[in-house]
Amino acid sequence: MLDIIFNRARDRQTAKIPLNKIRYGKFQPRFAINDQELEELVESIREVGVLQPIVVRPGDDCYELIAGERRVRASIKAGLKDINAVICHLSDREAAEVALIENIQRRNLHFLEEAEGFQNLIEHFHLTQSEVAQKMGLSQSTIANKLRLLKLASPVREKIYKLRLTERHARALLELSDTDSQLEALKYAEQTNFTVRDWEELIRQECSPENGKNISREIKKRRKQKIKPVVKDLRLFINSLEKGVRVLQDAGLDVQLLHKQHDDGLRIIIDVGEQRSQGRQTV
């Protein structure tokens, strides 16, 4: 698809252009860049340079970036003054398509960013889901499933991105009918280790509105269920700690073992003071 658009573009050429003449394109689908990945790219550019040219189109006394935002940002941080670019005369629609396709092919986009990009093509250029699928080289069902994720409210999407949840996690949230329930589920996800299957079971089978369950109440119940077997195993662990502390106390150390049960777990503190002085016998 990219080759078709490039071949159709007028006056295409490759040239080295100043980085300070580049403006970020209005059709860029990316809205977040991982800091660690960006730093790794900066180091790579410092060592071997930019291996693949960016794509731009000419504007008023500048170039509008179509594809290659990470390379541009990393090049600036690496101290470069210019960068190799493919300069194409593209229409708005072609620019949006190239930006989205290039990022998808390079696997640069979060699945929510992909959904935003697909929605942008539909709204701005009046394309159908079928047409978007054909242009992207994807199935129509893939496009439809991505677009459904945009039904999630912005705070929910931001939390999904922050927690680095998968697309399956996000799709499961759609079964909850309101934003508050979705945020409550995400709060549980933030505090608990779980598999995707466990997550889907929690939401679909036990916490869906159809079953008349309250997700907040259900989550609290699950927390208690998870704590009980852990506490049972910890009793043996605490007994072992207490024996160890008594040995240290008999050796002359001022040691105390403190433990307190909370709703979300067990807090254990071993407090070690100064060594006790004369008169203490060891066994």
Contact status, residue 269 vs residue 259, Cβ threshold 8 Å? yes
Is residue 69 flagged as an active site residue?
Answer: yes
Candidates 37, 43, 47, 69; catalytic one:
69
**54-58: strand order across its sheet:** 10-18, 82-89, 54-58, 63-67, 22-24
Contact status, residue 101 vs residue 73, Cβ threshold 8 Å? no
Question: Which token pair is 253?
Answer: 């150390």
Question: Which token pair is 170?
Answer: 């996000």
Give the integer Cα–Cα distance in Å for 130 and 132: 5
What three-state secondary structure class fits 49?
A: coil
Helices assigned H by DSSP within 78-139: 92-105, 111-125, 129-136
List the Cα angle 213/218/221 in 5-degree steps: 145
- CA-based end-to-end distance of the chain: 81
Pairing of strands 54-58, 82-89: parallel
Give the integer Cα–Cα distance in Å for 280 and 173: 62
In sequence order, what are the beta bridge partners of 268?
259
Catalytically annotated residues = 69
